[in-house]
Each structure stands twice: as structure tokens, then as C-alpha cells.
Amino acid sequence: MAERTVTFKGNPLSLIGPQLKTGDKAPDFACASAALEVVTLSKTPATTRLFSVVPSLDTPVCNQQTHRFDEEIGKMKDKVVCYTVSLDMPFAQKRFCSAENISNLQTLSDLHDQSFGKNYGVLIKGLPVPLLSRAIFVVDKTGKITYCEYVPEVGQHPNYEKAIEALKAVA
């Protein structure tokens, strides 16, 4: 199997884990919530879920991505659940959401054991600190991935329109 890479400021870096695709069963993970509780896939509601994966909430593109999905989810929040996943500390995630008035999505910190990054193929190898690569996963109520996007350059935005379209299709 060929090594998977992503670019970070133009430099190629390896990704740890599989490249998931539409139709795959969503892998399990163990992340920490803002309340410092361990959240696994089975502990998320059996409804349509969007996982918005970002390197760090304290960067401009991640900030914009989180705001965009918070706004979109606000229009469908009775039908879907959205999680922003990063390696930020849960305290920092909570502070960010409070300061930025993010209220329609939940944050998950993969700092616990990096299982989201490893199992979803978004953990970047080769940086001085661990980061997740930007990606979007839509998981339906049966736990099947119905949409995924691995953004090839960490500093680029995902395709918001396609992600929202995919979310609405299974909501």
C-alpha cells in the first residue's frame, strides 16, 4: 500500500492510518469531550453525524471551518449532530467555543489516545507536535460513512457545499 501524504505549507508529510471511503463502516475512536468524558462512536447519537477534523481551532482556516459548520448545523440541528475534532486540549476547545459563540456543534479532543486520527487516517506524522489533517466525514445513523474528504493541503478549506449536500442527503 502506497504511503499516504498531505502537504503542510507545501511540504509533504505522511499520514498515519487508513484512507477511508464512502461505504466504509465508520471506525470507533475514544476522544475527550469538553466535560472530560470519553466519547466513542457508539456514545454519539444514532443519527446523521458530521465530523469536521481540524489541526487546531486557534488557526484562521480552522476557525472559519468551525464557524461555517456551526452556522449550517444550526439550520438542521434537530436532524444531525456535528463534532469538531482536533488535538487541542478540551479546555482550549471549550474556551474557543465560548469566545466565538459556537453553540450548534460539539468539540472532541483526540489528545486522549489519538485514536480518531489513527483510525480515520488523519494523524500527521513528522511534525514537532502531533496534528490532525483537515478532513470531513459524514456518518449515517447506521454507522456507515456516506461522505469523506481528505483535504490535500492542510491550510486549504474543505468543500463546504459538498459536505453540507451530503449531510442533507442522509439527514
Of these residues, 31, 62, 82, 148, which one is catalytic? 62
Q: Is 62 a catalytic residue?
A: yes
Gyration radius (Cα) of the chain, Å: 15
What does the DSSP 8-state code read for residue 134? P
The C-alpha atoms of residue 107 and residue 19 are separated, in whole angstroms, by 23
In angstroms, rounded to a whole number, what is the distance separating the alpha carbons of residues 146 and 139? 6
**Residue 142 CB contacts under 8 Å (≥ 6 apart), including other chains:** 46
CA angle 46, 96, 123 (to 5 degrees): 60
Active-site residues: which are they? 62
